[in-house]
């Protein structure tokens, strides 16, 4: 595909997007294999030494340019990029010029490794850069280069705070290059969103942009295919010349920061636009269902798989329900409806816990992302589960929602003409990134040698022994004056750890979904002398924990993980908060065999045997503790991968059905 046509124009119309892939899984795998082979045969073009030497050669005279000469160089480059597209020579010139302008406006000059990372992204690849290597500044290279060529660029990150922050920080660079920019975040009306999407560079989140895309699809109705889509746009402009009902300008080029979080962690949940409708059931009905569920006994009346959240009633359970519904109203006599309601009540009671899967805020149930610990604004569970949990918590019952349009992240991001990204934790999911999104991952070396000390995991037999060892360790590090970041798996766990520290007289701050509006302030202080910060998995990801005066000399930030995360990748995300950009730092995990993740994976007999190997409240041998954690994570990673694969297959199947019926999504 010629890079010249990546923007709106004659070839793709005013709303460019890649046609839906019809390849089978085997064909996708074969395509990924040949893509990797092609890149390896051209490895010189994708080597750091090659890129840096060429940029340095072009950049040499730029430092002597005055502002007027620099402006002329920018205008000439912009004209050539727009005319000839993203040729290798012009991209090299663009990188040299952007680096010079960044040095003058942001007082930050791209390092060699950042030039290499930016080169990978402008060529549609995934740059694996360690935390603290300046991924935000690196992304300006491909973003500004593409924008100068007239290609609309979407810079996508994991949350609204980071999108707004990056847009504001980088604004001086964009303006000096003659590029306008903006941030599309939650709470904006459609008119403002439409205006911001007209800018050359838009910072936003995966959730915001995917839902805006679905709104455009709904607006365009049920027409299928590129020609019909463009024809309807022309019709609309003839009827209302100054009105454009569409929000965006198509899907041209996306650069995804924290790509694994966006493309992997959140990819198992489809995005659905809904409309409200009155509840079929009354609040009393939900209450009755919860009462009936509380009268049933697990294994006798029902069996449950807490991992998949599947519930099946036994014959005894069905008979018990039939006996208990007397006097509850005529609708309860419907066997299928009755059992469906009780199953949802059982799921709400056993599988969804406050401060783990959701929090109560302003007397409303708000869903928590279990991977990041962040509140997922405006999200709700389907099929009456939301209302069931609201009833359980005594909240006002919200209206039910019915779907208008849906799409998975796999399909949405697959529609960009060009996709690229960066993250510090990619290697574990590199194969999936290539197979699903066609993103080839390349490791970028660090600017400075990492000084991070990774200590062995300590796994104790009991929760009490873990708590004792943890408090002893915190007191020891705290006495040295070093700051400590404590990673927990849920809001509930972060609050429990806070109680432990308070009882021990250790002053600390908590960062979780209940305090996420203060995230920047809390993280800004997390690297100061004697600071203790308790955080959920969000842990200020995407923000820099700057070390206070004298902290480096003491050994830097120390990170303690207190739970077994679902993947090794999430462990590395947490550990990556320390020892950034050549700073010193250390990290370790302190766990127990009574932790939920281990109890759910191992049988009670195995756990009892393992507990017997821990002598006198001591931790298990290091190699054994490591093996226990890795087996759990390997299994969970496989399970999550299967969930995402099933969602992708279901999405393709649904797409074929809807296409046959003449609908978009």
Are 438 and 32 a contacting pair, CB within 8 Å? yes
- Runs of H (alpha helix) within 295-394: 315-324, 335-350, 385-392
Are 523 and 579 contained in the same domain?
Answer: yes
Which pLDDT score, from 0 to 100, does residue 518 have?
Answer: 66
502 three-state secondary structure: helix
291 three-state secondary structure: helix
CATH number where 355 lies? 3.90.1440.10
SS (H, E, C) 30-92: HHHHHHHHHHHHCHHHHCHHHHHHHHHHHHCCHHHCCHHHHHHHHHHHHHHHHHHCCCHHHHH
Which of 561, 497, 507, 498 minimizes the C-alpha distance to 529? 507
Q: What is the mean pLDDT of residues 187-200?
A: 93
- Do the domain assignments include residue 28? yes
Are 67 and 116 contained in the same domain?
Answer: yes
Are 45 and 100 contained in the same domain?
Answer: yes
534 three-state secondary structure: strand
**pLDDT surpassing 50 at residue 197:** yes
Are 44 and 50 a contacting pair, CB within 8 Å? yes
Are 241 and 299 contained in the same domain?
Answer: no
pTM equals 0.84
Average predicted confidence (pLDDT) for the chain: 86
> Higher model confidence: residue 607 or residue 656?
607
Q: What is the mean pLDDT of residues 86-104?
A: 96
212 has binding-site annotation: no
Which of 31, 152, 149 minimizes the C-alpha distance to 86? 149
In 416-539, beta strands by DSSP E: 418-423, 441-443, 451-454, 458-460, 484-487, 509-511, 532-535
**CA-to-CA separations, 573 to 173, 356, 361, 581, 627, in angstroms, rounded:** 29, 20, 28, 15, 20
Cα dihedral 268→274→278→279 (10° resolution): 0
Q: What is the mean pLDDT of residues 403-415?
A: 86
Give me 280's structure tokens: 């079929």
**pLDDT band, very low/low/confident/very high, at 232 (cuts 50, 70, 90):** low
Phi, psi of 520 (to 5 degrees): -60, -40
Specify the residue for token string 């798989």: 305
Are 28 and 128 contained in the same domain?
Answer: yes
CATH number where 267 lies? 3.40.50.300
pLDDT of 625-642, one tens digit each?
Answer: 889 999 998 988 888 888
- Do the domain assignments include residue 1? no
**pLDDT band, very low/low/confident/very high, at 541 (cuts 50, 70, 90):** low
Phi, psi of 404 (to 5 degrees): -105, -40
Q: What is the mean pLDDT of residues 336-343?
A: 90
Which of 133, 3, 118, 48 minimizes the C-alpha distance to 446? 133
**CA-to-CA separations, 301 to 21, 51, 322, 384, 501, in angstroms, rounded:** 46, 66, 12, 22, 41
- Do the domain assignments include residue 11? no
Cβ neighbours, 10 Å, residue 202: 28
* Residue 436 per-residue DSSP state: I
Are 509 and 633 contained in the same domain?
Answer: yes
Give me 523's structure tokens: 């993280």
Q: Domain range holding 297? A: 279-398
Are 180 and 259 contained in the same domain?
Answer: yes
136 has binding-site annotation: yes
Are 310 and 230 contained in the same domain?
Answer: no
Which pLDDT score, from 0 to 100, does residue 654 have?
Answer: 66
Are 553 and 618 contained in the same domain?
Answer: yes
Are 286 and 257 contained in the same domain?
Answer: no
- Runs of H (alpha helix) within 106-203: 112-122, 135-148, 160-176, 190-196
Which pLDDT score, from 0 to 100, does residue 201 have?
Answer: 98
171 has binding-site annotation: no
**pLDDT surpassing 80 at residue 245:** no
- Do the domain assignments include residue 4? no
Phi, psi of 198 (to 5 degrees): -80, -15
- Do the domain assignments include residue 3? no
- Do the domain assignments include residue 476? yes
Are 536 and 596 contained in the same domain?
Answer: yes
114 has binding-site annotation: yes
- Do the domain assignments include residue 200? yes
134 has binding-site annotation: yes
**Total domain count, the chain:** 3
- Do the domain assignments include residue 403? no
Which pLDDT score, from 0 to 100, does residue 573 have?
Answer: 84
Which pLDDT score, from 0 to 100, does residue 224 have?
Answer: 47
> Higher model confidence: residue 183 or residue 327?
183
Which of 353, 639, 390, 380 minimizes the C-alpha distance to 493? 353
405 three-state secondary structure: strand
Q: At what angle do helices 385-392 and 283-294 cross, to 10 degrees?
A: 80
Q: At what angle do helices 67-84 and 135-148 cross, to 10 degrees?
A: 70
Reported residue count of the chain is: 665
Are 339 and 194 contained in the same domain?
Answer: no
* Residue 213 per-residue DSSP state: H
* Residue 516 per-residue DSSP state: G
């Amino acid at each position: 595909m010629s890079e010249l046509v990546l923007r709106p124009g004659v070839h793709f119309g005013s709303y460019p997007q890649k046609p839906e892939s019809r390849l089978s899984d085997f064909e996708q795998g074969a395509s990924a294999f040949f893509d990797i082979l092609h890149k390896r045969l051209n490895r010189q073009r994708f080597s750091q030494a090659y890129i840096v030497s060429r940029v340095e050669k072009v950049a040499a005279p730029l430092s002597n340019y005055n502002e007027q000469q620099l402006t002329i160089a920018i205008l000439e480059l912009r004209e050539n990029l727009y005319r000839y597209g993203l040729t290798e020579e012009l991209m090299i010139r663009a990188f040299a010029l952007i680096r010079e302008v960044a040095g003058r406006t942001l007082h930050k000059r791209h390092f060699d490794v950042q030039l290499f990372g930016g080169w990978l992204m402008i060529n549609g690849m995934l740059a694996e850069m360690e935390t603290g290597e300046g991924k935000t500044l690196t992304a300006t290279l491909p973003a500004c280069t593409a924008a100068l060529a007239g290609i609309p660029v979407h810079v996508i990150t994991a949350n609204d705070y980071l999108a707004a922050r990056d847009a504001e920080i980088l604004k001086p660079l964009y303006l000096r290059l003659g590029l306008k920019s903006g941030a599309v975040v939650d709470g904006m009306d459609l008119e403002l969103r439409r205006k911001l999407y007209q800018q050359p560079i838009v910072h936003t989140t995966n959730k915001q942009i995917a839902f805006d895309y679905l709104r455009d699809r709904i607006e365009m109705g049920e027409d299928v295919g590129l020609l019909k889509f463009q024809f309807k746009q022309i019709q609309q402009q003839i009827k209302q010349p100054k009105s454009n009902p569409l929000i965006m300008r198509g899907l041209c080029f996306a650069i995804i920061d924290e790509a694994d979080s966006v493309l992997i962690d959140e990819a198992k949940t489809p995005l659905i636009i809904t409309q409200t409708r009155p509840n079929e059931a009354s609040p009393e009905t939900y209450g009755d269902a919860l009462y009936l569920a509380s009268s049933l006994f697990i294994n006798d009346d029902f069996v449950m798989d807490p991992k998949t959240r599947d519930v099946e009633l036994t014959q005894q359970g069905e008979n018990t329900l039939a006996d208990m519904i007397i006097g509850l109203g005529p609708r309860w006599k419907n066997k299928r409806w009755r059992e469906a309601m009780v199953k949802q009540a059982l799921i709400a009671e056993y599988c969804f816990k406050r401060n783990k899967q959701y929090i109560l805020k302003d007397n409303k149930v708000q869903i928590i992302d279990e991977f990041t610990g962040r509140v997922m604004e405006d999200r709700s569970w389907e099929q009456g589960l939301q209302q069931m949990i609201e009833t359980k918590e005594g909240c006002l019952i919200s209206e039910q929602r019915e779907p208008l349009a849906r799409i998975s992240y796999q399909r949405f991001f697959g529609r960009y003409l060009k996709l690229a990204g960066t993250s510090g934790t990619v290697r574990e999911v590199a194969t999936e990134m290539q197979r699903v999104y066609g993103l080839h991952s390349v490791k970028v070396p660090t600017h400075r040698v990492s000084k991070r000390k990774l200590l062995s995991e300590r796994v104790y037999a009991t929760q009490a022994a873990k708590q004792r060892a943890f408090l002893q360790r915190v007191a020891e590090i705290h006495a040295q004056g070093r700051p400590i970041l404590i990673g927990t798996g849920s809001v509930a766990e972060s609050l429990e750890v806070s109680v432990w520290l308070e009882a021990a007289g250790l002053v600390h701050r908590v960062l979780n979904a209940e305090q996420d509006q203060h995230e920047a302030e809390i993280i800004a202080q997390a690297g100061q002398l004697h600071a203790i910060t308790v955080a959920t998995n969000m842990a200020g990801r995407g923000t820099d924990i700057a070390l206070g005066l004298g902290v480096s000399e003491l050994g830097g930030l120390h990170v303690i993980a207190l739970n077994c995360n679902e993947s090794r990748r999430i462990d590395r995300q947490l550990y990556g908060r320390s020892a950034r950009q050549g700073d010193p730092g250390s990290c370790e995990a302190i766990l127990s065999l009574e932790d939920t993740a281990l109890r759910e994976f191992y049988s009670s007999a195995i756990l009892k045997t393992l507990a017997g190997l821990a002598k006198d409240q001591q931790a298990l041998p290091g190699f054994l503790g490591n093996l226990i954690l890795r087996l759990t994570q390997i299994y969970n990673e496989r399970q999550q991968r299967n969930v995402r694969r099933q969602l992708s297959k279901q999405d393709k199947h649904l797409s074929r059905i809807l296409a046959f019926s003449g609908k978009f999504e």
